[in-house]
């Protein structure tokens, strides 16, 4: 402390021409409390009381500081906060200095709540309600980042939207601000969220939960949960098995709805004008009919005489094609197995497309008889084990009857036991005239590693490995099949 010549005290900040910023201090208190809670679940009395004073001073509910309160429950009691959580962590246009500082403190309180609910998962056993609450809070985090709930975890839109007791479902439009480039700002957040969810599922006594219909009803199906169910299905029976099948079917139906929409948008063939349009009322081109008959307009009678009706062409060019999908079902490829099984069933429903599905680890399984029903297909998979693509190749090669009318999609991370023999077989398929599409993985997030040895050789062969995003595979298949 120093003295002015006038005798009034002034601190160092004032002497340097700056004034203390109470908003900055408040924000720091909230973030220090967040860090303390993340790394040590024990309450820090000083930080807790200071944070409570900050929150109450801003007119926010004290429940924001309660580790047991979910975002769903807070929004249920305070619906006006839902709009603030929406795109909360997306960069916003600059605000004026005064209101901006106060807004930063308020935002810090809300951000702290979301982050703490998602990343402070503790240890020990997890109940069905706790998993459901985490899924809900993870959905709010994705919403805060401007995404659909479930989008960053590689699940279907809406994942984690329902809490254990119902509550408010975050729909996450991200409309308040421009969505950021999440791959640049948060390159690892998607896989990390998936890993946390998988850990929670592993810590849950899943068999006991499934055996209790009340507890099973609290589960929200997700990729991590489906993986565990598929791995453990051989150990389930009775009520537990029925509940497991119900969860798998719910998840399959929801993912299928999303993928079917993508296929319908992408797989529209060119109009086949060699086929005369069908002369039915629903195909009548009224605008063209009026335009072509305008010369028959009678001004005296104010009537249009129609000599000819015109109809829209609706027939589309399609060529009979054979699609062979080979999927690595080892432990690292569960997401791909689920997505590709569903995708194969959708393409199998298209006219004149002959779809075959093969799954493999160290053994291969021809799932073609069940390809129209992804639920039944998944129940017949046996996830885990090593990887030997040569056994799958032995099933796939005899199916290539007309190479130029065949596409082979091979989904794997290509970490194989017999690398060179497998690659030579794949190169032979390519040279035969069949279209060979190697895919690193088929996930909603598009993340996944690929054996660099295979990646380089596929590139030299002229068939580079597709990025794992499911939309790219849909586009490639659409190009070939329509």
Is residue 256 situated within a structural domain? no
441 near 415, Cβ under 8 Å? no
Q: How many residues does the chain have?
A: 482
State the residue for tokens 């279209």.
435
Asked if residue 187 and residue 325 are part of one domain, the reply reads no
Beta bridge partners of residue 360, listed in sequence order: 328, 364
Helix (H) or strand (E) holding 325: strand 321-328
- For residue 388, the enclosing domain spans 321-481
Q: Provide the token pair at 196.
A: 């946390």
Q: Do 199 and 328 lie in a common domain?
A: no
| Cβ contacts of 169 within 8 Å, gap of 6 or more | 158, 161, 162
Q: Which residues contact 443 (CB under 8 A, 6 or more apart)?
A: 154, 335, 336, 339, 468, 469, 470
pLDDT value at residue 344: 82
Sheet holding 353-360, edge to edge: 364-366, 353-360, 321-328, 406-411, 435-439
Check whether residue 195 and residue 328 sit in a common domain.
no
Residue 210 lies in a domain: no
We report the CATH number of the domain holding residue 344 as: 3.40.50.410
Q: What is the pLDDT of residue 14?
A: 43
Residues with Cβ within 8 Å of 102's Cβ and at least 6 positions away in sequence, in order, are 23, 58
Residue 437 lies in a domain: yes
pLDDT of residue 163: 35
CB within 8 Å of 26: residues ≥ 6 apart: 54, 105, 108
Structural domain total, the chain: 2
Residue 199 lies in a domain: yes
In a domain, residue 451? The reply is yes
DSSP string across 231-284 = HHGGG--HHHHHHHHHHHHHHHHHHHHHHHHHHHHH-PPPB-TTSPPP-SGGGB
Same-domain pairing of 71 and 200: yes
Give the C-alpha separation, 75 to 206, whole Å. 29
| pLDDT in the model for residue 386 | 75
Where is the domain boundary, 177, 204, 231?
204
Q: Which residues contact 452 (CB under 8 A, 6 or more apart)?
A: none
Residue 14 placed within a domain: no
Q: Report the relative pairing of strands 364-366 and 9-10 from DSSP bridges.
A: unpaired
* Assigned domain for 290 exists: no
The residue out of 204, 232, 264 marking a domain boundary is: 204
The pLDDT score that the predictor gives to residue 434 is 92
State residue 15's pLDDT score: 43
Instruction: Count Cβ neighbours within 10 Å for each residue of 147-168 and write b for 16 or more, e otherwise.
Output: bbbbbbbbbbbbbbbbbbeebb
Residue where a domain stops, chosen among 183, 204, 225: 204
How do the pLDDT tens digits run along the chain, 482 residues long? 334 434 444 444 444 444 457 888 888 888 888 888 888 777 788 888 888 888 888 889 988 888 888 898 898 889 889 888 888 887 665 544 445 778 888 888 899 998 988 888 888 888 888 888 888 888 898 888 887 777 676 544 444 333 333 333 333 334 444 444 544 545 467 777 877 888 888 888 888 899 999 888 888 888 788 878 888 888 888 999 999 999 988 888 887 777 777 666 654 455 455 556 667 777 788 888 888 888 888 888 888 888 888 887 665 544 558 889 998 887 666 677 787 888 788 777 777 788 899 999 888 999 999 988 888 888 888 766 678 899 999 999 999 999 988 999 898 889 888 899 999 999 999 999 999 989 887 665 555 678 899 999 999 999 988 876 677 777 777 666 65
CA distances from 317 to 371, 474, 479 (A): 24, 18, 12
- Say whether both 184 and 329 belong to one domain: no
Q: Is residue 297 part of a domain?
A: no
Q: Among candidates 460, 371, 360, 367, which has minimal Cα distance to 412?
A: 360
Residue 235 CB-density burial (10 A; 0-12 exposed, 13-18 middle, 19+ buried):
exposed
């Amino acid at each position: 402390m120093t003295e002015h010549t006038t005798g009034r005290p002034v601190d160092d900040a004032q002497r340097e021409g700056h004034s203390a910023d109470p908003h900055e201090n408040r924000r720091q208190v909230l973030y220090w409390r967040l860090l303390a809670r993340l790394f040590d679940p024990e309450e820090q009395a000083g930080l807790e009381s200071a944070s409570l004073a900050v929150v109450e001073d801003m007119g926010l509910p004290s429940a924001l500081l309660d580790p047991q309160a979910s975002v769903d429950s807070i929004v249920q009691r305070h619906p006006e906060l839902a709009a603030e959580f929406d795109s909360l962590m997306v960069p916003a246009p600059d605000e004026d200095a005064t209101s901006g500082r106060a807004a930063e403190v308020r935002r810090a309180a809300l951000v702290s709540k979301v982050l703490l609910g998602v990343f402070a998962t503790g240890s020990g056993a997890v109940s069905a309600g706790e998993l459901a609450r985490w899924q809900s809070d993870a959905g709010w985090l994705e919403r805060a980042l401007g995404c659909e709930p479930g989008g960053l975890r590689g699940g279907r839109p809406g994942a984690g939207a329902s809490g254990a007791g119902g509550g408010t479902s975050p729909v996450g439009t991200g409309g308040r601000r421009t969505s950021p480039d999440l791959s640049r700002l948060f390159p690892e957040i998607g896989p990390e969220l998936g890993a946390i969810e998988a850990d929670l599922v592993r810590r849950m006594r899943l068999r006991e939960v499934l055996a209790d219909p009340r507890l099973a009803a609290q589960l929200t199906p997700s990729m991590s949960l489906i993986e565990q169910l598929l791995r453990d299905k051989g150990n389930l029976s009775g009520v537990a098995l029925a509940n497991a099948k119900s969860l798998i079917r719910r998840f399959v139906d929801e993912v299928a709805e999303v993928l079917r929409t993508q296929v319908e948008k992408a797989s529209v063939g060119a109009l086949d004008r060699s086929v005369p349009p069908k002369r039915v009322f629903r195909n009548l081109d009224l605008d063209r009919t009026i335009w072509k008959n305008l010369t028959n307009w009678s001004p005296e009678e104010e009537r249009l005489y129609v000599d000819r009706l015109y109809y829209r062409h609706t027939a589309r060019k399609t060529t009979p094609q054979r699609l062979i999908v080979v999927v690595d079902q080892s432990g690292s490829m569960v997401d791909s197995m689920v997505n590709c099984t569903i995708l194969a069933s959708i393409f199998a429903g298209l006219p004149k497309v002959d779809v075959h599905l093969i799954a493999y680890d160290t053994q291969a399984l021809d799932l073609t008889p069940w390809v129209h029903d992804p639920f039944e297909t998944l129940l017949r998979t046996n996830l885990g084990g090593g990887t030997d693509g040569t056994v799958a190749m032995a099933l796939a090669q005899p199916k290539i009857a007309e190479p130029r009318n065949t596409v082979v999609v091979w989904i794997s991370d290509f970490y194989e036991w017999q690398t060179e023999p497998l690659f030579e077989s794949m190169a032979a398929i390519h040279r035969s005239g069949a279209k060979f599409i190697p895919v690193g993985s088929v996930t909603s997030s598009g993340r996944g590693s690929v054996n660099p040895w295979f990646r380089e050789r596929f590139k030299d062969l002229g068939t580079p490995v597709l990025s794992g995003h499911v939309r790219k595979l849909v586009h490639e298949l659409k190009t070939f099949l329509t």
